[in-house]
C-alpha cells in the first residue's frame, strides 16, 4: 500500500520543527547495499549459524579459525558495499543541520562513506580490530590487511593474543561511553528518527522510549513493522532508499 502524501508532509514538518534530532539506524539501512542482516527469517545470518557458538567471546576463544572462516565472507561484502540513497540522504540532512546525533547499530562504515560524521557505533565497527588480551586497538588500515592477506587468525603485534573485530560479540557489553552519549542525546532531543531498525536488540532499542518519556516524538521509517510502532508518533512503512531521499527533497523545498 502506498504511503499517503500527508504522512510525508507530517514527517517533513517534524524534522524541520525539531531543534535536536536523534537518528537511530539499523540493519534495514545497510541491507540495500548488499550487507545481510542477522535476524530476518530465511535470509538472516543467524538462520545459518548459531551465534552463541561462533560470534561470542567464548566462541572466538574456543575456535578462532571457525570464527574467521565465518567472518571473512561477511567482511568481504562490507568491504565491497557502497552507500545507498538512505545513507546519502541522512548525510545530506546532517549537512543541512537537521540531524544532530547519529546512532547506528550497524558495524559497517557506510554512513561515514556517505559523508556523515560523528557517528556513534554502539555495536562497534568491523573495520577496526581489538586485541582480546592487552586491549590494543588496531585502526582499519592495520586490521583489514591482517584479515584479508592471510588465512590465519590475526594476532596482536604487541602481545601475540587473538585480535577480533572491534564489535560487540555475544557475551560482551556495549561500550559504556558510547551508550551514555546516545542515552544523553535521547534525553535531550525533540525527535527520534528510527530508520531500518526492528528495535529487537536492547539496550539500543530502548533509546526511542527513553526519548519519548522525556517528551520527544518518534518518526519511524521502516519497510516492516517494528516492536515500537504503537509508540511512534508517525509511521512510514516504505523502503528507506525511497523514503529518505523523498524527505530530503521535501525539506530542501521548504527551507
Q: What pLDDT, in 10s, does the model give residues 35-92?
A: 986 544 444 343 445 555 677 889 899 999 989 888 888 888 888 899 999 999 999 9
**Domains, in order of start, for the chain:** 1-35+83-123+174-255 (3.40.50.1220), 41-80+125-167 (3.30.1600.10)
Our answer to whether residue 123 is catalytic in this structure is yes
Distance CA 226, CA 192 (A): 14
Q: Please report the pLDDT score of residue 78 as a whole number.
A: 86
| Confidence check: pLDDT of 115 > 80 | yes
Average pLDDT rounded to a whole number, residues 223-230: 88
Q: Which helix (H) or strand (E) holds 17?
A: helix 5-17
Q: Which helix (H) or strand (E) holds 219?
A: strand 217-221
Which tens digits make up the pLDDT trace of 193-220? 999 998 877 788 899 999 999 999 999 9
Sheet containing 137-138, strands listed edge to edge, beginning at the edge strand earlier in sequence: 137-138, 124-131, 163-167
Higher local confidence (pLDDT), 106 or 145: 106
Percentage with pLDDT > 70 across the chain: 91
Higher local confidence (pLDDT), 226 or 120: 120
Distance CA 58, CA 75 (A): 20
Q: Please report the pLDDT score of residue 39 as a whole number.
A: 47
Per the CB < 8 A criterion, the answer to whether 122 and 179 are in contact is yes
Q: Please report the pLDDT score of residue 52 as a whole number.
A: 59
**Main-chain dihedrals φ then ψ at residue 236, nearest 5 degrees:** -125, 100
Average pLDDT rounded to a whole number, residues 95-112: 96
Task: Spot the catalytic one: 123, 137, 177, 237.
Answer: 123
The three cell numbers locating residue 46: 543467524
**Main-chain dihedrals φ then ψ at residue 191, nearest 5 degrees:** -145, 135
Closest CA relative to residue 146, chosen from 89, 70, 33, 68: 68
The three cell numbers locating residue 41: 527469517
- Tell me the pLDDT of the chain averaged across its residues: 89
Q: Please report the pLDDT score of residue 130 as a whole number.
A: 95
Per the CB < 8 A criterion, the answer to whether 242 and 248 are in contact is no
The count of other CB atoms within 10 Å of the CB of residue 71 is 19
CA 239 from centre of chain:
16
In 36-59, which positions are buried (b, 16+ CB within 10 angstroms) versus exposed (e)?
bbbebeeeebeeeeeeeebbbeeb
Q: Please report the pLDDT score of residue 38 as a whole number.
A: 54
| Confidence check: pLDDT of 226 > 50 | yes
Distance CA 235, CA 225 (A): 9
Q: Please report the pLDDT score of residue 40 as a whole number.
A: 44
Amino acid at each position: 500500500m502506498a504511503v499517503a502524501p500527508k504522512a510525508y508532509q507530517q514527517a517533513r514538518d517534524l524534522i524541520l520543527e525539531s531543534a535536536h534530532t536523534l537518528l537511530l539506524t539499523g540493519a534495514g539501512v545497510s541491507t540495500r547495499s548488499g550487507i545481510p542482516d542477522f535476524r530476518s527469517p530465511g535470509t538472516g545470518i543467524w538462520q545459518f549459524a548459531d551465534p552463541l557458538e561462533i560470534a561470542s567471546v567464548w566462541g572466538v576463544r574456543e575456535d578462532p579459525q571457525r570464527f574467521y572462516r565465518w567472518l571473512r565472507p561477511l567482511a568481504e561484502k562490507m568491504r565491497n558495499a557502497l552507500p545507498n540513497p538512505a545513507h546519502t540522504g541522512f548525510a545530506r540532512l546532517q549537512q543541512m543541520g537537521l540531524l544532530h546525533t547519529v546512532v547506528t547499530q550497524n558495524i559497517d562504515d557506510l554512513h561515514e562513506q556517505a559523508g556523515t560524521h560523528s557517528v556513534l557505533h554502539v555495536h562497534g565497527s568491523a573495520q577496526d580490530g581489538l586485541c582480546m588480551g592487552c586491549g590494543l586497538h588496531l585502526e582499519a588500515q592495520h586490521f583489514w590487511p591482517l584479515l584479508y592477506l592471510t588465512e590465519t587468525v590475526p594476532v596482536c603485534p604487541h602481545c601475540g593474543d587473538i585480535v577480533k573485530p572491534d564489535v560487540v560479540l555475544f557475551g560482551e557489553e556495549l561500550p559504556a561511553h558510547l551508550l551514555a552519549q546516545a542515552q544523553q542525546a535521547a534525553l535531550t532531543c525533540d525527535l527520534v528518527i528510527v530508520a531500518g531498525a526492528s528495535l529487537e536488540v536492547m539496550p539500543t532499542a530502548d533509546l526511542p522510549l527513553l526519548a519519548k518519556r522525556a517528551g520527544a516524538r518518534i518518526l519511524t521509517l521502516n519497510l516492516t513493522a517494528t516492536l515500537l510502532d504503537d509508540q511512534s508518533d508517525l509511521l512510514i512503512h516504505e523502503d528507506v532508499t525511497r523514503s529518505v531521499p523523498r524527505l530530503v527533497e521535501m525539506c530542501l523545498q521548504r527551507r
